[in-house]
């Protein structure tokens, strides 16, 4: 077995790469939610001065990376790799954003799991000695996602109570081989899990089994204690999916309910903001992690965190072809 | 500077991960082309027994990974990571393929650059000691790409002479920390380059500047000799893009014309097969590398190869919004 592996699916980062900086940008609705004080920038309008929502999302990616680097002693030109992706077909917002940044780029697609996918790969590359400075970023935008995955916004389509609300936001972590900040310790990479859910308006239940599989595997692989965590944060299972995850974990004798949170549940005030089962989108765990959780790690309110971004890998084509929803979740463990 | 770096964008793999096995599956048209004797499997019909072209592409990915593993002494369950992606929205063919393989998965999107993107990341993860067995795979399908990016096939739309023909095919490399086979030595990761080309029917010229940038950077970073290569193979610049690359390289005093080939030029007999400027798609460099080039490396007809898969990161949405075509190319150097 390769020397840095632990159990079946987990690796240990011997050199503990550091998240030396993190940054988040959100839209007006997210900036009106319960976590508003933790975001670095709140847009006044979701076009961000651009001609289309797609270009606005792209601008968020570009700006969040620049702002995250500006918080460090480095300049953009010293970044060796950008690991990034988004929900749009052919990663439109990311591709156009990194074009202007002129740094080597690995494009990723993990649906809403992209934040922990990007941090996983970025940390391994730094830990392995291939770079001292890497960026991991992702984004989503309510308006680009709605028209791509669902209906034109102009239609004013009614949404079922199981639906989630795609977060308008972008988040970025800057990962370095040295410096001050919380450290990335372990990574458990998820498998694609599909339990046969076909309702694209109810993605929490599709993703919960994937989150369950990767979180349980982490504890099986490492023999770590649930109680040692201050927070176990899933990406965007929402109210329905989060409940299913907790039940699955309890049935397997892993009760995480005392330390559990879901970024999609925390980001909105669901009754007041009419967001139904919760927030979703790559930008959901990206902004909650790089905004809220990172700041709590910095001020030591939190000292050991598991981030589990969760992704539903469906497409409009697969839905039309009556396929079920494959899902994935990646675990990243961060400690002070 | 991180210890494994060389110059600006290049890394050296100290432990030289080995490509212990490679496999390719192609469609009937590719199986009628000049490289037909090098592919592991040629489909009799491009639906591959499935109900849709998307599901057929997905089956190609699943089968090519299984076949590549079957050629080794390992079983699928010993694979630590699958690095894979395709051209379809939300990586439909890859997501559904890896669902059945039940191994940890990193989804990638680099358009037609995905083969060298996947090999790059897979090799770093093996070289860094995180795994002893990783798979890198990608695919494309003429019929899924045409209807997603261009027109319904039923329309029988006429194609300009600058257009390229998306390869129906999937390729897979199995990369290990030990074993017999050609070794991955160096990686130069590309930046997104955009010189303002807007014609989605002429992608060679959009991608040529990206290939030029990464290849030139490799030689600047390493001081390696062009003459030491048996082949420098771009992914799918086609006849027009390939000519532009050679001119760019010559003007910069890097004459690669003696060792240059383009997978998109080699895979079809363009006059007889009516493929205009050449083959394209993730499956193009994937099948030519894992079929033709890998077998030539094994029998020592080739001993030092640079693979430069090239990707045009446009989307139908970006084209409708009058955006130009961002492109990227990644260099992987393989030696016996």
Could you tell me which CATH class the domain A14-176 is placed in? alpha beta
Contact criterion met (CB < 8 Å) for B189 and A127 = no
Angstrom distance (rounded) from CA A202 to CA A241: 9
CB B128 within 8 A of CB A130: yes
**To which residue do tokens 């984004």 refer?**
A139
Q: What's the rounded Cα separation, in Å, for the pair A172 and A187?
A: 18
Q: Which of B189, B213, B325 to mutate to test the interface with A (most CBs of A within 10 A)?
A: B189
Q: Which residue has the tokens 């319904």?
A: B152
Tokens of B167: 């390869």
Residues B277-315 have pLDDT tens digits of 999 999 999 999 999 999 999 999 999 999 999 999 999
A12 inside 8 A of chain B by CB = no
3-state secondary structure of B19: strand
- Sequence-distant (≥ 6) Cβ neighbours of residue B159 within 8 angstroms: B201, B276
> Residues B74-94: pLDDT tens digits?
999 999 999 999 999 999 999
Which parts of chain A have pLDDT scores under 50? none
> A110 forms bridges with which residues in the sheet?
A112
Question: CA-to-CA distance for B6 and B28, rounded, in angstroms?
Answer: 43
Which residues of B are less than 8 Å from A120 in CB distance?
106
Is the CB of residue A237 less than 8 Å from the CB of residue A29? no
Q: CATH 3.40.47.40 region(s) of chain B?
A: 11-176, 183-335
Residue B1 in this model has a pLDDT that exceeds 80: no
Q: Which of A54, A102, A323 is opposite residue B191, by nearest beta carbon?
A: A102
Q: Can you give the C-alpha Rg of chain B in angstroms?
A: 18
Quote the DSSP letter at residue A110: B
Residue B18, pLDDT score: 98
Is B193's CB within 8 Å of A99's CB?
A: yes
Fold of B11-176: Peroxisomal Thiolase; Chain A, domain 1 (3.40.47)
* pLDDT (0 to 100) of residue B276: 96
Q: Summarize pLDDT for B225-236 with one digit per residue, the tens.
A: 999 999 999 999
Percentage of residues of chain B with pLDDT beyond 70? 100
Interhelix angle B114-127/A114-127, nearest 10 degrees: 50
Q: Say how far apart CA A196 and CA A325 lie, in whole Å.
A: 7
What is the token pair recorded at B288? 């030519």
Task: Inspect the interface and report whether the beta carbons of B103 and A323 lie closer than 8 Å.
Answer: no
Considering only the beta carbons, identify the residue of B104, B117, B191 that sits closest to A191: B104
Supply B186's token pair.
Answer: 């160096």
A120 at the B interface (CB within 8 A)? yes
Determine the pLDDT at residue A3. 82
Report which DSSP code applies to A192: P
- The average pLDDT across B164-172 equals 98
Select from A3, A51, A81, A95 the residue whose CB has the most chain B CBs within 10 Å, as the one to mutate to test that interface: A95
For residue B190, what pLDDT band results from cuts at 50, 70 and 90?
Answer: very high
Asked if B102 is an interface residue toward chain A (Cβ–Cβ < 8 A), one would say yes
Distance from CA of B165 to the nearest CA of A (A): 19
Phi-psi map region of A217: left, alpha, beta (phi>0 left; psi -120 to 50 alpha): alpha
Are B313 and A95 within 8 A, CB to CB? yes
CB-CB under 8 Å, B117 with A107: yes
- Say how many CA atoms lie within 13 Å of A23 toward its Cβ: 22
Distance from CA of B34 to the nearest CA of A (A): 31
Residue A77 in contact with residue A65, Cβ under 8 Å? no
CA atoms lying within 13 Å on the CB side of residue A325: 23
Answer whether A9 touches B (CB < 8 Å).
yes
* Residues within 8 A of A (CB atoms), B 129-158 only: 129-132, 148
Residue from the list A9, A95, A321 with its beta carbon closest to the beta carbon of B104: A9
Give yes or no for residue B39 having a pLDDT over 80: yes
Out of A88, A131, A190, whose CB is closest to B315?
A88
The CA-CA-CA angle for residues B286, A87, B213, to 5°, reads 45
The token pair that represents A192 in the structure block: 């694609």
- Given a cut of 90, is residue B2 above it in pLDDT? no
From chain B residues 38-77, the ones with a CB under 8 A of any chain A CB are: 51-52, 54-55
Helix axes B53-70, B92-99, angle to 10 degrees: 50
Q: pLDDT value at position B3?
A: 82
Q: Is A2's CB within 8 Å of B129's CB?
A: yes
Of the listed ranges B36-45, B154-163, B242-251, the one predicted with least confidence: B154-163
The torsion defined by the Cα of A208, A210, A216 and A220, in degrees rounded to 10, comes to 180
Reading the block at residue B327, the tokens are 């492109």
Q: Average pLDDT of B57-74?
A: 98
A107/B110 touch (CB, cutoff 8 Å), yes or no: yes
| Range list for CATH 3.40.47.40 in chain A | 14-176, 183-335
* Interface contact B190, partner A, CB < 8 A: yes
3 state DSSP class of A55:
helix
d(CA A317, CA A303): 42
Q: Do A108 and B104 touch (CB under 8 A)?
A: no
The CATH fold of domain A183-335: Peroxisomal Thiolase; Chain A, domain 1 (3.40.47)
Q: Please tell me whether residue B176 adopts helix, strand or coil conformation.
A: strand
Measure the CA–CA gap between A153 and A170, rounded to whole angstroms. 21
pLDDT digits (tens, 9 = 90+) for A132-153: 999 999 999 999 999 999 999 9
By CA distance, what is B133's nearest residue in A? A2
A8 contact B CB<8A:
no
| Cα-Cα-Cα-Cα dihedral sign, residues B95, B55, B291, B274 | negative
Chain A residues touching residue B106 (CB < 8 angstroms): 108, 110, 117, 120-121, 189
From residue B222, give the alpha-carbon distance in Å to each of A85, B175, B227.
Answer: 30, 24, 14
The pLDDT assigned to A223 comes to 97
Q: Which residue has the tokens 């290049």?
A: B10
| CB A146, CB A153: distance < 8 Å | yes
Residue A189 touches chain B, beta carbons under 8 Å? yes
């Amino acid at each position: 077995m390769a020397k840095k592996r632990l159990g079946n699916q987990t690796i240990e980062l011997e050199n503990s790469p550091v998240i030396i900086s993190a940054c988040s940008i959100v839209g007006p609705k997210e900036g009106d939610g319960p976590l508003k004080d933790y975001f670095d920038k709140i847009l006044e309008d979701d076009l961000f001065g651009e001609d289309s929502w797609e270009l606005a999302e792209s601008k968020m990616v570009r700006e969040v990376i620049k702002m995250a680097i500006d918080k460090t002693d480095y300049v953009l030109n010293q970044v060796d790799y950008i690991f990034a992706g988004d929900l749009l077909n052919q990663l439109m917002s990311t591709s156009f954003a990194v074009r202007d940044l002129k740094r080597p780029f690995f494009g990723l697609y993990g649906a809403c799991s992209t934040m922990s996918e990007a941090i996983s790969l970025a940390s391994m590359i730094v830990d392995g000695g291939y770079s001292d400075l890497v960026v991991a970023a992702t984004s989503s935008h309510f308006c680009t996602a709605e028209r791509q995955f669902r209906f034109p916004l102009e239609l004013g389509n009614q949404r079922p109570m199981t639906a989630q609300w795609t977060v308008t936001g972008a988040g970025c972590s800057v990962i370095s081989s040295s410096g001050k900040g919380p450290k990335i310790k372990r990574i458990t990479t998820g498998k694609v899990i599909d339990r046969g859910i076909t309702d694209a308006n109810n993605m929490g239940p599709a993703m919960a089994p994937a989150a369950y599989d990767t979180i349980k595997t982490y504890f099986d692989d490492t023999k770590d204690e649930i109680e040692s965590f201050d927070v176990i944060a899933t990406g965007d299972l929402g109210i329905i999916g989060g409940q299913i995850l907790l039940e699955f974990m309890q049935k397997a004798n892993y009760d995480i309910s005392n330390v559990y949170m879901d970024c999609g549940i925390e980001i909105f005030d669901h009754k007041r903001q009419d967001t139904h089962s919760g927030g979703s989108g790559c930008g959901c765990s990206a902004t909650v992690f790089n905004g809220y959780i990172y700041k709590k790690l910095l001020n030591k309110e939190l000292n050991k965190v598991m981030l589990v971004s969760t992704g539903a890998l469906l497409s409009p084509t697969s839905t039309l072809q009556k396929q079920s929803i494959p899902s994935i979740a990646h675990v990243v463990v961060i400690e002070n």
